[in-house]
Structure 1
Amino acid sequence: MLREASFLRLWVAATASGLATWALPFVLGFAVLERALTPGALGLVLGARTVGFLIAVPVGGVLADRYARRDVVRAAGLAAALATPVLAAAIGRSVAVMAVAAVVIGAGQGACRPAFQALTADVVDPGRRQQANAAMTLAVRVTTLAGPGGAALLATVLPVPALVCATGLLWLAAALLPPPGGPRVAAPTAQRGTYLREFAEGLREARRHAWFLAGLGALTAVIATGYSATGVLLPLMSRDTYGGEAVLAAATTAYTAGALLGAVVIARWRPRSAGWAALAGLACYGLAPLGLWLEAHPLVVVAGYAAAGAGIELFNVPWFTAIQREVEPRLLARVSSLDFLFSYGLAPVGLALIAPAAEAFGPGVVLGVCAAVCFLAPAAAALAPGARHFARAGRLEGG
């Protein structure tokens, strides 16, 4: 796929946006270390970016179905690129200006996500979309490694404002590189309604696919529990139960390595019951909090995180491919925006609730509940009509 110029341009653009997204919190962390920014101010700025993301995701979905998807990516990327130096200039001067700039950057990130997803379907023919989605998710995993690592390396020679501006250059690349999409059918101008009405049309399309609603519910539950346990309780357990940071470092590295392996495998593997296989992969996330709950040997905990990483990609790639295949093309970006809004967009809610729950009931109880949810939610989703193949009931059930 990367030998084709159009997909290569799309892949590089998505990778650039991912690098900018993952690097910014890490770079701003250096500002905290240098006392140019307080931890509370950092939380406010990152929270403002999340608000911008949540606002822009549904709007971006409507825009990407209404207009050329490359134009939506370009506008969103340019907005983020222009807001980034404003944020850099405000470091140590005005937290309010930083927060406003962060909202714009988050909005650019949010509007890009459904547009990139729909643009992949425009650029790649149906028979190769699973391979294309695997390549796109590989880019995400590479950025989670390269973003913070590259920022740490550059921090030895560049000041923090320059590093922040460098993420703006990445947004500029994300804006300018995507290729034009192929021909598609959009609603005539005369038939367009308000943004709310057009978004509601996407909701109606989503409700036509029971497997999508069930899978999205399972994904949201797993991210809100398993992902939150990883972000909040893994560092605590690593310190208090395993006596240091070694388990934290090994588990997070194993998760990323497992995700890379899972993406490579699913690029070629075509399971007969793709939906059930994907949901089984999603359920593997429960192995991460389960190992911590059992206070298992460190190698068992690390292996659980590797399996969770592989499983999430065994879910993600068939999931994205099925949405691109099953959803009406002119509504694809709007349905994709629902995916990002409820799954990854609401992840901060889980992160915010995990710590108070652990204080109230103890980490062990919370980890046990998280593991149970991660196992049970995908199992329940597998019972939905069409879940076996991630297709409308009856369409592929005989295959």
Structure 2
Amino acid sequence: MPSTAVRPPSLSRDPAFLRLWAGTTASGLATWALPFILGLAVLDRSIGAVDLGVVLATRTIGFLAAVPVAGVLADRFSRRGVVLWSGLVAAAGSPLIAVGLGRSVWLMAAAAALVGAGQGACRPAFQALTAEVVDEDRRQPANAAMTLAVRVTTLVAPSLTALLAVVADTAALLVGTGVLWLVTALVPPPGADKPAVVGVRAGFAAEFAEGVREARRHPWFLAGLAALTAVIATGYSATGVVLPLVSRDRYGTEAVLAAAMTAYTLGALAGAVLIARMRPRAQGWAALAALACYGFAPLALLLPVPAAVVVAAYAVAGLGIELFNVPWFTATQREVAPDKLARVSSLDFLLSYGLAPVGLALIAPAISAFGAAPVLLVCAGVCFLAPAAAALVPSTRGFRAEARQPDPHRKAS
């Protein structure tokens, strides 16, 4: 008898996914745009470089403070509701930055903290909402489509923003990011209804601790998160601090910096396209091997190679990071208990991306104390060895719990 099961529509014809995609893309574009627009404000002398550092630092503080709170709230209440309120908070903060521009750096800093809080709050909520909106079989291409959109905006947005700056001032561009945050708040679809909780809830700390315990139930997750955190804290720091210096001092031009960062984005785009359809047999090991490719970036900065080799190394690093990210997000959405998914995702963002500023803060003093070559060698070594060490954990092979093996001594009933 033929099956009567109805196949879900393709992602390109699924209105719920398209709304989710639009919301996440808008949040990614708004997140990227703010530091670029503030950089334009430095160029036109509306603010100073120190003011820029203060504003971006408070945005990071707001992000880090909001991520764990949002993880608990998104598991306790509606994920869609958390996306709504986080988007509205960021939308309210964006025009306040414009109001403080050239008048009060402290108003700008406070408003940037609101924007950072909205940005941080929507990240775990979006991860959990994706698992509610998209069925398991389509989540990998869905995650690939969303990260592809973010990479495309990163590639084209500098030119677009520069063109907009010709006809609009910096304040208007900042207000424009608020419009993007409104799209983030209002466009995404509703998720699954949460059952009403009967009785007294545990406190915030206790609920977050439940998420930590859930993460500890998955050895592959802890190993992969440790590897990702190490790679971002070292490889990303080398990109942020050493690449501009090498571009200027070794090659005598900023063109190498621009080419390497463009190649990184193009590599990430290629990775997102490939991973939408790739299904390696040992998906976790393949993802960790791809993550280790980030080590080629600091290695190329260390060695006296032609500029083309540096650019190629960054293309490989970009390719690898997306070949890791998409299976990583998909596995987390599949393996983690649905009622704890937002808290586990918040732990992911808090450690992997939250500790990136620590690496950036430490690498410059380390270079001053030990020299660039030893520091780059350590960064490359960490990028290669951390994923390899994670792969030693058996369950990382497929980024899933190990299947129980039948007891050979047990007789069949």
TM-score under structure 2 length normalisation:
0.94
Residue among 306, 313, 319 paired with 1:310: 319
What letter is aligned with 1:69?
A: R
Structure 1 residue ranges (4+ consecutive) displaced by more than 6 angstroms after TM superposition = none
User: Partner letter of residue 373 of structure 1?
Assistant: V
Task: Please point out which of 39, 44, 58 is paired with 2:49.
Answer: 39
Q: Which residue of 2 aligns with 1:68?
A: 78
1:42-97 Cα deviation digits (max 9, x unpaired): 10000000000000000011111111111100000001101111111111111111
Contact 1:20 1:147 in 2 (8 A): no
Structure 1: 5+ residue stretches without partners = none
Q: CA RMSD in A?
A: 1.4
Q: Displacement, 1:36? A: 1.3
Unaligned runs of 5+ in 2: 1-10, 406-413
Alpha carbons 1:70, 1:181 under 8 Å: kept: yes
Q: Tell me if structure 2 keeps the 8 A contact 1:259–1:306.
A: yes
**Deviation at residue 191 of structure 1 after TM alignment:** 4.8
Contact 1:66 1:186 survives alignment (8 Å)? no
SS class of match (2:401): coil
2:289 is matched with which residue? 280
Separation (CA, whole Å) in 1 of partners of 2:404 and 2:64: 34
Counterparts of 2:76 and 2:159, CA distance in 1: 38
Is 2:357 aligned against 1:348?
Answer: yes
The residue that corresponds to 2:212 in the other structure is 203
Mapping of residues 1-399 of structure 1, within 5 Å? 1-183=11-193, 188-394=197-403
Q: State the alpha-carbon separation in 2 of the partners of residues 191 and 229 from structure 1.
A: 48
Letter in 1 for 2:334: R
Distance 1:395 1:326 in 2: 15
**How many residues get paired?**
396
Please report how far the alpha carbon of residue 186 of structure 1 lies from its aligned counterpart in structure 2 after TM superposition. 5.4
The amino acid that maps onto 2:168 is L
Q: 2:200 and 2:400 mapped to 1: Cα distance?
A: 28
**Deviations 1:100-144 (CA, angstroms, capped at 9, x unpaired):** 111111000000000011111100000111011101111221222
TM-score by length of 1: 0.97
> Can you list the C-alpha shifts for 1:284-337, whole angstroms capped at 9, x where unaligned?
000111111112122211111111000000100110010001000000000000
- Give the letter for the 1:314 counterpart: L
Whether the 8 Å CA contact 1:118–1:324 is kept in 2: the answer is yes
Q: 1:387 to 1:186 in 2, by over 3 A?
A: farther
Q: In the TM superposition, what whole-angstrom CA distance separates every residue of 1:245-276 from its partner, at most 9, and x where no partner exists?
A: 12111111111000000010000000000000
Q: Aligned partners of 2:117 and 2:263: how far apart in 1?
A: 31
Q: Which amino acid aligns with 1:135?
A: A
Cα distance change of structure 1 residues 181 and 2 upon mapping to structure 2, 3 Å threshold: same
What CA distance in whole angstroms lies between the structure 2 residues aligned with 1:137 and 1:196? Answer: 31
Query: In 2, Cα distance between the equivalents of 1:186 and 1:337?
Result: 22
Is the CA contact (8 Å cut-off) linking 1:54 and 1:345 kept in structure 2?
yes
Quickly say closer, same or farther: Cα 1:323–1:340, change in 2 above 3 A: same
Residues 200-222 of structure 1: CA deviation (Å, up to 9, x unaligned): 10000000011101100000000
* Whole-angstrom distance in 2 between the partners of 1:82 and 1:16: 15
Q: CA deviation at 1:171?
A: 0.2
AA at the equivalent of 1:168: G
Q: Distance in 2 between matches of 1:147 and 1:186?
A: 41
AA paired with 1:197? A
CA displacement at 1:192 relative to structure 2: 2.2
Matching residue's letter, 2:165:
A
